Amino acid sequence: MPQRTSPRHFLQTFTSASLSSASLLAVLALAGCKGDAGPGSLSLDYVLGNAKQCTEVGVETVHVVLSRGEGDARVELYEEYVDCTNTSVLIEDIEPQAYDLLVEGLDDKMIAIFDNLGTPAAERKLEIFQGSLADETVDMTARPADLQVRWRLGADGFGNCMGVGIDRFQIRAFQTGGGTLMLEHEFDCDTVGEDAAGYRLVPDPDRVLNGTQFGEVGVQPLDASGNAIGAQATFVFDPVGPGYPAKMTLDCNELGCTGTGTID
């Protein structure tokens, strides 16, 4: 005679089966979510200055870089170039993590004349999440000019600082006309050049060297006591424009330094 299942036993069996099914569905759902997550994407809009058109400020190409690390350890992991008139950039298949965001506006010579480095560093951090689209809007402003100075020591250019008695160089940058000081800095004489040509980039953390106004430089060699050696070498030139370098060379001996009077 068939054994009857009690209502209580049936309820226990049904409940156990329901819980097992629910657990299975939860596992499958989690597996599905994990598989669908994948890399993230970035949609970036950019604004040039006071909402200027590309042609108004001379920007032709926009360059976007996602990087990690600082200094020599910095690694560029993703980059994209788009025509400036696109007004937006899309970068896909980005590994989810935190990045530093650099956006540059390049002119027809591929010189960066606008960028987003005028905004606080915290605002240039970007987090990409799994399977999501990050929407960012970036303000770009005109880059400062780059002041680069090099010096040759001794009659043949292969002397040394001690031999000519120079301890350091005082460098002062002015607006066109020479009346308004924009930036000053001192380099130790033995500072190593940053490129093969031996130029040293004058630090400009506050981005004060406006490329449309910067037009004069004075360089004064000093001894270890801070006394001037010879007269100041003065350089006068037409403004180079945003983002462009103003390079100058000094020829120095124990009597002081001279230059061409203009940029290289």
Euclidean distance between CA atoms 205 and 186, whole angstroms: 14
Q: What is the pLDDT of residue 1?
A: 39
Same domain, yes or no, for 111 and 186?
A: no
**Strands of 146-153's sheet in order across:** 200-201, 146-153, 245-253, 256-258
CA–chain centroid gap for 70, Å, is: 11
Amino acid present at 239: P
210 is written with which tokens? 């406006």
**CA 169, 183, 217: angle at the middle one, nearest 5?**
60
Same domain, yes or no, for 154 and 76?
A: no
Same domain, yes or no, for 134 and 169?
A: no
Which residue ranges of the chain lie beneath pLDDT 70? 1-36
Asked whether residue 217 is domain-assigned, the answer is yes
99 is written with which tokens? 């990045």
Q: What is the pLDDT of residue 36?
A: 57
**Strands of 168-175's sheet in order across:** 181-188, 168-175, 214-222, 233-236
Asked whether residue 110 is domain-assigned, the answer is yes
Q: CATH code at 67?
A: 2.60.40.1120
Same domain, yes or no, for 180 and 107?
A: no
Same domain, yes or no, for 168 and 118?
A: no
Same domain, yes or no, for 138 and 157?
A: no
- Specify the number of domains making up the chain: 2
111 is written with which tokens? 């010189």
For residue 207, what are the domain limits?
146-258
Asked whether residue 263 is domain-assigned, the answer is no
Task: Give 209's Cβ-side CA count (13 Å radius).
Answer: 28
* Residue at a domain's end among 142, 166, 194: 142
Same domain, yes or no, for 155 and 242?
A: yes
Q: What is the pLDDT of residue 34?
A: 44
Asked whether residue 17 is domain-assigned, the answer is no
